[in-house]
Structure 1
Amino acid sequence: MAAIGFCGEWFIFTCNTKLVAIHSKQAREPFVFDCSTAEKRPKHTQDDNTSDTGSAEETGSDKVLAFCVSPSGKLVALTDDSKRLVLFDCESSWKCISIRWVVRRCTSLLFSQAADQLLVADKSGDVYSFSVVEPQTQGQLKMGHLSMLLAVTTSPDDKYIITADRDEKIRVSHLSSPYNIQSFCLGHQQFVSALLIPSAHPNWLLSGSGDGTMKLWEYKTGRKLQSWDLKELQETPSIEADQHKKPSPTVRCITCSPDSRLVAVQCERVSTLEFFTLEKTDEERLLPHSRLSLPHYPLEMTFDQEGQLWVLMDSSDTLLQIYTHRQDSWECDVKSPELKRVTEALKPHWETLEDSTRSEDRFEHLYKVSFDNVTAYLQKKQQRLEEQQLKRTVTLKAKSNKKTKRETSQAPSQSST
């Protein structure tokens, strides 16, 4: 799974087993961390963590699952499917601070706003807190869900932790005492895949889902302010036709520009990006702003410090593009020196990433399978009735044939008498 982000002026790219950091402004040597050559898990902890069935989990392949950047831009963390949790300091020069081990494979990472703890959500629904101040200490269980966690965020004041899971729930809990639940934001019809608190509106929450909608919440009360069905914004008839056959496009990413003017929304396997503005009026509203059509499917997107949108695409020819919003339209800066510098440093690592890995739909397995038991029951009942009717018909026909034969055999003897 490929992902991108920014840590100050460092462009961060993860693919396969590597994290690559490239300075976008200066011709500096890229920093590369390869999980496949990193510290291995001590043998005495190999069998400590077992699944619910009591057997140890399968061996990982060292592929990076997620990474995050601290609010100050001085720290970066990543986790891989061998259950490493790696912490980096990138303030002056890149260096690895610690390698720790998580209980289960992670789905989401997040630094607290104070950057004193690293919150790790995993596939079993648990959230662990790892100290940043004491980078060698083990994690502490913070809270748990009954379903796989897919996204986690915190309020700007670090008072609340907001978690989203596969069972359509968004839970708002107190970070210092997560057993104290503030509210639930309920209304999605499929798994919740993305969360964002806009910096300009600290009391609002944006959520995206596998049901193809983005919703705006007042998260402290759980009140839904607005909902947008992203299918309604599509203009291409062929896309609309396909959507009747396939599930709604999953919201993969929601991100905000540095000045908080624009909210960008990316859906899985859709070649357009949707942009919204947030306006705090008497009727709190999320308003459509613009649309950006891309030449290829986007794999990931991120804003840099200057408000330029970087898009990683599923194409070896057009690997990266930078877009700038000017005069009510999005312009592609193909001659950007930053784009050229980053792309050249990125290509050797991109070429090692398999096509199937780049284009895989990471949300496909999360859709719940529904069973129509009534229809199946009625079909079986109709089949039984037809079989019974056929059996009665055959029985009656057999009796009729016997009667006819008996009457035929008795007819000559009666005539001779």
Structure 2
Amino acid sequence: MSEQEHDTTATSGGEQRQQEPSVSQRLWRELTTGSAMLTVLSIVLALAIGGLLIILSDPRVQQAAGYFADRPSDTFAAAWQSVSSAYAAMFRGSLVDFGEYSVVRAVRPLAATLTNATPLIAAGLAVAIAFRTGLLNIGAEGQIILGAVGAGYIGFTMDLPVVVHLVVAVLGGVLAGAFWGGIAGFLKARTGAHEVIVTIMLNYIARFLLAYLLTLEAFRRAGRSDPISPYVAESAQLPRLFEGSRLHLGFLLAVVAAAVVWWLLTRSTIGFRLRAVGFNAHAATTAGMSVARSYTLAMCIAGGLAGLAGASQVLGTERFLSSGISGGLGFDAITVALLGRANPWGTVAAGLLFGALRAGAVTMQAETGTPIDIVLVVQSLIVLFIAAPPLVRAIFRIRVRSRGLGAPEARGWEA
């Protein structure tokens, strides 16, 4: 018998089979060609383009470029100084500032990152769970507003014991968000109304509803004519977790929510039904699953998660209602869910990354004068590259390994 072109090993029955790769080889293949590596490379590529924008916007680099032909080293030195100082300032503003005189002050930037990440994680989960059910939840912004209104109203109007008041206020925000999300789910299930249009319109309704409520006596702070509510009672405030920062218990609640969503999607019957409907609604119907009920339930859960984000904002971060309580978090949550590939723990990681970029951008602009808008461009580029894996593979020359009968590996939303 002629030798085979590939390595083979003999089995106990004398049969020949292809030698399987070892565990370490499979792990290395997944790390270098899988979705995790593509995500890392997308971030690196976005930061590289962001660095180019920093160079182009720096007056010192522009000045040195004026005599580039005579002394090119000055231009390269100025460019390196511009990028390195900007990203170093971003690091100090988002993780650790080694220039501070105490450990507490040195890690305050990390606390700011976690504070910014808290509503992004909760709202990102709201978008992710809808994605997994085959829905596009563009209404996280309105659900955050309703959650903030529900939690804030309970927080500054009711007089309850300390623990009870906080629990009731948080639940009020979650239920208000669930109600707002459930409207879109119900209309989708009963009338077939497109959830994108419905949720966008609900965003406008929520925004103007908040503006109207802040003109009422019950929502207006005494002695103030501007649209701002009274402070939430101390018994309903989410306790601070770190001295000298606004980091509060809401961060832990967001992480717990991610764990619950992970369990729901991967370990529960309800999650199986939601994912089945998201994969193929017609097949799910044939299998006896109620697609309409799944759509309504998914949007109620999504709204509740976004309501948790609003509750954390009004009870923990701001501690009062204002017209800008949402701050566009609902739209940022869409990019967080996309970056996290609609995976609960991926959404947590994406929320932490965007929280770090938000916190570090302020320090970067204050110390180096770099426009803060560059960070927004970096965020957008990350999502762009995540959404275009072939482009990233082409830039870094990554080969796509085939599976089965030679079909290229395709990755969708991972559990």
- Larger helix share, 1 or 2: 2
- Larger strand share, 1 or 2: 1
TM-score interval, smaller chain: under 0.3
**When the two structures are superposed, what TM-score results if normalisation uses the length of structure 1?**
0.21
Bigger relative contact order, structure 1 or 2 (CA pairs below 8 A, ≥6 apart):
2
